[in-house]
Structure 1
Amino acid sequence: MLLSPRYRFLFVHIAKTGGTSVRAALQGLRWRDPWYYPMFLCSRMSHLSGHRIGTKLPRHAKAVLAQELLPRPFYDSLFKFAFVRNPWDLQVSSFHHIRRERPHYLGGHQEFADFLRWKLDPERPYQYHVDTSITRQSDYLVDLHGEVIVDFIGRYEQLHDDFATVCARIGITQPALPHARKATDRKRDYRSYYDDDTAELVARHFARDIKLLDYRFDPD
């Protein structure tokens, strides 16, 4: 999550949706923000700014946390945005990320289908680094009543165009959007990783995302 009091925005960073690139592109704005130094120095004393510095907002915090932590008029005044991704594609991306950077979290499952079944098994013991991609994307976007509380939901599938919309809304010249953490070990088409059973497994687990965000396994 990235908060800018000067530019009046709150970026809700959902893992594996291009958020690292968005964060990197916007990071330079922090140095122009007069609140940056209080945010850095007062990480445990946020009350000094009337709780406007958001120093207790984790990198992948949900929007509802910011809504509850920040004063409501201040939260409401922010342009709040996030990026989302096709759930089937996101699971493939997450698998390759874990296999590349944290292979010990694979639980001994080297193939995507086996790993997916193991990961989505409700009886499996919880592990944070595996379960970040189990969390529904919609959970990051809604309040305690299930109502969407962000102003703009961009899509990974049209990241550059939607990032341009974000920059226009916050009133900045669009910075370069780096392609961070590019995977080189995956097939291009996520659909090739699935059979009918594993595709349905994702459809059931992420049904709320698929409905809210209007995704399909085969967008064609």
Structure 2
Amino acid sequence: MGPPRPARGVPRPRLVASLVAWAVVASLLLLHRTQRDVQKCMGSAREGLEQRDEAAAVAAARAAAAAAQAEGAAPVVEAALRDRYASLPADRIEAMIRAPVGLHGAVQKGGLPANFPFVVAHLTDTNPNVREEGIPATMGPAIFRWFAQAYTFNQSAGHSSWGLQSPVPACHFWADHKYKILYVRNFKTAGTSISITLGQKELPMYCTYQPDTCASKCKNKQVCLENISNLDRLRQLFKEYTVFSFVRNPWARALSSWHHVHKHGMKEPCFESFEKWAQLPSRYGAKCLAERDCCRRRFGWLLEHIEPQSTCLFDDQGRPSVDFFGRVENLDEDMQEFVKIVNSRLEPGVEPLRVGRMPRWQLAVQELRDKQDELWRYYASIYANSSSAMADIRSYFHRDFDLMQVPDRPGSVAVVGGIAAAGSAAAAAAAEGTAG
């Protein structure tokens, strides 16, 4: 059950701004349904927002320029990907979706995540006075641009998903000040296992209205992670703390996301097959912005459970923004490696961090809980029964595949007794390019 509504008289400027923005979007939808008309109406709305959200407008323009640059190459790349994954046997598909990412362990940290002010501005659940989950902190031009294109997306008409990732990042930032660690938590990457094991406070809106239970999950834990969304504070923590994240094979994560949003975010009449959903995952978010009857949660909630992992993990030069990458597929081993790094940097008088074996859940596919081999086979069967899903997921999540060095070629992962084994050569091959 959510926290009680704020008392009357409490100032809620962000909520008012959000409601005005939602009203603008609703008006657009009622008046125009085609991509051309929606984009035309968005122009007038955007003019009124630019002064209030100038930083977001600049970031959106840069994103649009990057997307335009890639637009010409996108159809060629997507066609090559369809050829690459055509008629793959199920055991080869299973090996590829089992394979951990190639970039892992301690890494050399570069700069802040790319477009960092813009990313922080679009985080959800940062206003303690807003009751509903999944509302971005700002409703700027970038969201309007994405919405117009995603809502009218039609792959059969030649539309490309290459640049249609939403502005809502799939991450939150959590810090523990005793151990000086900053956790970049992406959704569908064992975040529940990690936060329950380490200890984590509730989100700000819950802590505001239920302070007695805010830190209940930290009881008897060495760590108590708290949510951080202040831009200046985050800049400082990225510089001074040990920053870590856990990442996951994008093919497996996409299926987990699809199941999860069906179970918790969408209503059954609006479900899409995985093959159709894979064409443009962010279309679910656009649907939940436009058609609330389809959805159990706000559109931002769906988007942050769907969008690429890499948004908050790499700087504008493609260098890691973290000190350590753990892999969901190697959860226990990589967590122990991270603990050693933390303990090597302890301040005097701080007890060493200890983490035991971590719990695992298959929350989206409950009947396969603790049956990992069966889950892999199930995931492989879904891809094997689709003529395009592997290529579409590889295309949409291209930054995840490239930056995290995911083995993505049928010959890059060896199948040994049903277990995927990706060597350094495979990781290097995965980094060579998209269509290769």
Counterpart among 57, 69, 75 of residue 228 in structure 2: 57
Q: Is 1:159 paired with 2:331?
A: yes
SS of the aligned residue for 1:119 comes to coil
Q: What is the alpha-carbon distance in structure 2 between the residues aligned to residue 107 and residue 124 of structure 1?
A: 16
Equivalent position to 1:85, from 248, 251, 273? 248
Offset of residue 164 of structure 1: 0.9
CA distance in 1, matches of 2:188, 2:391: 21
Q: Pick the aligned partner of 2:395 from 204, 209, 212.
A: 204
Aligned to 1:213: 404
- RMSD of Structure 2 on Structure 1 (CA): 3.2
Q: Which of 257, 261, 273 is equivalent to 1:111? A: 273
Is 2:351 the counterpart of 1:188? no
- Change in Cα spacing, 1:2 to 1:120, as seen in structure 2 (3 Å) is closer
Whole-Å separation in 1 of the counterparts to 2:228 and 2:284: 28
The 8 Å contact of residues 91 and 133 in structure 1, kept in 2 or not, is answered as no
> CA offsets per residue over residues 57-95 of structure 1, 9 Å max, x none?
25xxxxxx76x53353x5322111001111110011111
Gaps of 5+ in 2: 1-172, 202-210, 213-224, 290-298, 344-352, 369-373, 415-436
Query: Is the CA contact 2:262–2:271 (under 8 Å) kept in the aligned structure 1?
Result: no
Taking the aligned partners of 2:250 and 2:179, their CA distance within structure 1 comes to: 31
Counterpart AA for 1:160: D
Mapping of 1:27-66 within 5 angstroms?
A: 27=199, 57=228
Q: Does 1:76 align with 2:76?
A: no
CA 1:13–1:56: 2 relative to 1, 3 Å: closer
Separation in 2, partners of 1:112, 1:216: 22
Q: State how many pairs are aligned.
A: 191
Matches within 5 A, 1:104-143: 104=267, 108-117=270-279, 119-121=281-283, 124-125=286-287, 127-143=299-315
Distance 1:173 1:18 in 2: 18
SS of residue matched to 1:149: coil
The normalised TM-score by structure 1 is 0.72
Q: What secondary structure is seen at the aligned counterpart in 2 of 1:161? A: helix
**Structure 1 unpaired stretches of 5+:** 31-39, 42-53, 59-64
Work out the CA distance in 2 between the residues paired with 1:99 and 1:123.
Answer: 12
Among 340, 357, 360, the alignment partner of 1:179 is 360
Counterpart residue number, 1:33? none
8 Å contact from structure 1 (residues 79, 151) kept in 2: yes
For the pair 1:21 / 2:212, whether they are aligned, the reply is no
CA contact 1:80–1:150 (8 Å) conserved in 2: yes
Task: Write the letter of the residue equivalent to 1:70.
Answer: L
| Cα distance change on mapping 1:107 and 1:124 into 2, 3 Å | farther
Q: Which moved more, 1:197-206 or 1:129-138?
A: 129-138
* In 1, Cα distance between equivalents of 2:324 and 2:310: 13
Q: Deviations over 1:28-67 (max 9, x none)?
A: 7x8xxxxxxxxx89xxxxxxxxxxxx96625xxxxxx76x
Identity of aligned residues (%): 23
**Equivalent-residue separation in structure 2 for 1:206 and 1:109 (angstroms):** 21
Report Cα offsets for 1:91-118 as digits up to 9, x if no partner.
11111112222332x6712532233335
